């Protein structure tokens, strides 16, 4: 895997320094910004991860994430003093990929960073794990690459985040198989499932439907099997 570029946007200098020292010891290339405005200016095309504080003076972390999403699908890991489930959902709806409440352990932070960077580098074909043989799954009018994030529907390329892509790929690999929220979370996030993770999966399914469905309220690709989970419908027109 090539060296990853991580942008830290955090107004607390001590936290920023601690995260920088930790990640540099793991051979990550670090760029720092003390507020949202400077963070947006520092964001580059080759940035592999943004670590973003939610509560900052000036532009908040949520607003900064919304601005990032206008030009990039780079994964965003929120750091916040708030740990309520509603706060987590707000962060995910703003475009965040993961959420870590302060105070956090460095081992937990490092685990989240490695998982997000690995998925994103595979997504962009930068990782040694990315097989470039050009394998595709084509069904129900959806064409998805199995090797990197490329999804085409009706001749149009659909821009997905790495998590959205991995959810869709999982469902399309096993069409008509019902995946519970736990199945999806443990397969895509590669972390143990807890009950509150169900909301995280629901938010990403909702965002995925908005991008791939003609009518997200009445999905034809990703359907909900109430009380059981989700499945990809391999219908025949």
Classify domain 136-232 by CATH architecture.
Answer: Orthogonal Bundle (1.10)
- Say how far apart CA 155 and CA 47 lie, in whole Å: 29
Separation CA 188–CA 112 (nearest Å): 13
Token pair for residue 166?
A: 């991995």
The pLDDT assigned to 190 comes to 82
Residue at token pair 């109430």: 226
Q: How many CB atoms lie within 10 A of CB 205?
A: 22
User: 5-123 belongs to which CATH class?
Assistant: alpha beta
pLDDT at 2: 61
d(CA 125, CA 145): 11
| pLDDT score of 90 | 76
- Successive 10-residue mean pLDDT values, the chain, 237 residues: 86 94 93 96 94 91 92 90 68 82 85 83 58 72 85 86 91 92 92 85 94 93 93 73
- The residues spanned by each domain of the chain are 5-123, 136-232
The answer to whether 39 and 64 are in contact (CB under 8 A) is yes
pLDDT value of position 236 = 46
Question: How far is 19 from 58, CA to CA, in rounded Å?
Answer: 22
- Specify the pLDDT at position 134: 59
Sign, CA dihedral 2-114-163-36, equals: negative
């Amino acid at each position: 895997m090539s060296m990853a570029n991580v942008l830290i946007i955090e107004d607390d200098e001590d936290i920023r320094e601690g995260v920088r020292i930790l990640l540099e010891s793991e051979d990550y290339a670090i760029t720092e910004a003390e507020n949202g405005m400077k963070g947006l200016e520092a964001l580059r095309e080759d940035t592999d991860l943004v670590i973003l504080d939610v509560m900052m003076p000036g532009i908040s972390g949520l607003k900064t994430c919304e601005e990032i999403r206008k030009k990039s699908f780079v994964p965003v890991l929120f750091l916040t003093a708030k740990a309520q489930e509603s706060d987590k959902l707000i962060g995910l709806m703003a475009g965040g990929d993961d959420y870590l409440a302060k105070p956090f352990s460095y081992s937990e932070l490092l685990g989240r960073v490695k998982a997000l960077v690995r998925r994103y580098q595979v997504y962009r074909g930068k990782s040694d794990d990315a097989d470039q043989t050009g394998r595709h799954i084509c069904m129900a009018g959806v064409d998805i690459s199995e090797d990197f994030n490329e999804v085409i529907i009706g001749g149009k390329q659909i821009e997905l985040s790495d998590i959205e892509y991995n959810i869709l790929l999982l469902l399309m690999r096993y069409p008509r198989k019902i995946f519970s929220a736990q199945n999806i979370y443990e397969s895509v996030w590669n972390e143990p499932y807890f009950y509150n993770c169900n909301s995280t999966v629901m938010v990403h399914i909702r965002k995925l439907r908005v991008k791939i469905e003609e009518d997200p309220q009445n999905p034809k690709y990703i359907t909900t099997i109430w009380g059981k989970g989700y499945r990809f419908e391999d219908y025949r027109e």
